[in-house]
Structure formats: C-alpha cells, structure tokens
Amino acid sequence: MRQDLKQIEVEKLESFFYSVQCAQAPLLLLDYDGTLADFRINRFEARPWAGVRELLAIIQKDKRTRLKVITGRPAGEINAMLQLPEPVEVWGLHGAERLLVDGTREMQEAPPEAREKLDELRAQLRQYALGGLFEDKPNGVVMHWRGHPQRQAKSIEQRTRVLFEPAAEVNGLSLLPFEAGIELRAGRDKGGAVQAIVEQADADVPVTYLGDDLTDEPAFSAINQTPNPHLSVLMRREWRETAAEVWLQPPDQLRWFLRRWEMALNRTGAAGLRMADPTEIRLRA
C-alpha cells in the first residue's frame, strides 16, 4: 500500500488542521460505506474499520466537533452501525433526508409525477430485478451489481439504463451513478447536503468531507467552493480522477486523519503543524 503524499496534499492537511486547532465548532462530515467501513454485499454487515469507532468516540466526547454522516443509505441505519456513545446527525438518501440527534426526521418531498414514475418502476423491479440487486428507497430505486463478474455487471447496467434513462426525464428525477450501480432518485444530492450544512455555520468554521464514491464528488466540489477553511478528502484504496484536494487510503490513513483531528483539538503535536507520525505519512513523489 502506498503511504506517501504529494507536497501540496501535506500542505493542505497541515493548514486545515491548523484551522481546526483554532476552531470552536469544526465540522467533520463523513460518508459511511467505503469511507468508514469496508463494503459488504449485505450492507448490515458493514461495520467500521478497527479502531475507527473508538477514535470517533474520543472526538465526540470532546463535544466541540460537529460530527455528521452524509450517506446514500436511509439515515436511520447509520447510528446502529456506528454504535457511538451518542447518536450523530445523519443526512440520508444522499441528502434528501435529515435525521437530527433528537430523532426528528426531515424528508424532501418529490413532485407527484416523480413519485408516480418511481412507483411504476418499483412494481416492475420487484417482479424482475434485471439480474441485479434491486433496492427500494423512499425517494428512489437503485440497481446494484457489486460482486457480479464484469460481463454480467455490464449487462445489468445496460438493461437498467434502458429503464432508468427515459424515466430520468420526468420532472424531479435524476440519475445518480455510483461505483457498482445506479440510482434513479429525487431530492438533494450530497453536494446540496454539504451546502445546507455550511450555510448554517459561521464563516470561519473549518469544514471537511471524507468520501470514496462518485456520489461524493458533488460534496467535494461543494467543500472546495466554501469560503470557510476547508478540506475535501478522497478516502479510497485506489486513486481515481476526483475533485477532492487530498487522497488518503483507508483504513490506516483514516485512523491517522482521526487521530490528527483529535490532536488538533488538544493542540498537541508540534503546535498542530507537524504530521502525527512521519513514518505513517510520507511525501508522494
């Protein structure tokens, strides 16, 4: 595994953690699947990587960090998976749903024609899932092909696109491709969720977002565009073209990031400017 970072990435990390060190209420925004936890075909088995829950619990106990998860899953699933001492705020369904820590749930309403089209597709896909795994969401329909051999995956994708692409023309609906599937959905995307969160925060609040998938790209772009101190992080084993400012590899560099966050809160680690442990992160040529 590569553990080296480019100089520009190190500089961005250092200056961001310096802003966290000085902040009263920094925003730590996290995707769940692929970012905090490895993928499982059965998503209810996707638990956080070793040590991640403990690090998040330490950050949470400090009380300053506003920790929020932005996920494609229904929001209600996340706190049961994370099992932190306190529940966190979750923006579910890629941002269309918001679940506050007191249990209050807000859901964006889709236009009637979008809801009608989704109902029609649900009925159809329940009968026959085109060879893939059909997932029914309150604001969309999803086709997964993770785990299928490449040729089979391609054929599921083609058949799904024949069905979803014309439907995406309906008012309120859009296509959201991700790495092993595609979703036809209504409502805010992750970029919209980041924007809504940042708009409610003060202008000097540092904000970061960690994500792995194509659906996280709008969130990276939204982070990059805020005037607040910010950092967008692609947390993914393999590099890919991305809007994120920094690429880190889970789970080691995720643990490193969270430890570094905790150190910034405690203003330790060479006044917060040095990397936590130079043997963990080296410069990428």
Select from 265, 199, 271, 188 the least CA-distant residue to 228.
199
CA 69, 73, 75, 79 torsion: positive or negative? negative
Structure tokens at 267: 């203003």
Half-sphere CA count of 283, side-chain side, radius 13 A: 4
Our CB check for Mg ion shows the closer of 27 and 30 to be 30
Instruction: Find all residues with CB under 8 Å of 147, minimum gap 6, and list them.
Output: 41, 180
Q: Does 95 bind Mg ion (CB under 5 A)?
A: no
The smaller minimum CB distance to Mg ion, of residues 21 and 71, is found at: 71
Q: Which is nearer to Mg ion, 60 or 71 (CB)?
A: 71
Q: Segment 202-221, which members bind Mg ion (CB under 5 A)? A: 212-213
Tell me how far, at minimum, the Cβ of 33 lies from Mg ion, in Å.
4
Angle among Cα 37, 212, 245 to the nearest 5 degrees reads 130
Quick one: 213 or 245, whose CB is closer to Mg ion?
A: 213
Residue 196 C-beta-side C-alpha neighbours within 13 Å: 15
d(CA 97, CA 71): 10
Please give the size of the binding site for Mg ion, defined by CB under 5 A.
5
Residue closest to Mg ion, measured at CB: 34
Structure tokens at 28: 């730590």
Q: Does 31 bind Mg ion (CB under 5 A)?
A: yes
Q: How far is the CB of 140 from Mg ion (least distance, A)?
A: 16
CB of 231 or CB of 234, closer to Mg ion: 234
Tell me: does residue 33 bind Mg ion (CB under 5 A): yes
Decide if residue 89 touches Mg ion (CB under 5 A). no
Q: Near Mg ion by CB under 5 A, which window of 27-35, 84-92, 202-210, 277-285?
A: 27-35
- Contacting positions for Mg ion (CB under 5 A): 31, 33-34, 212-213
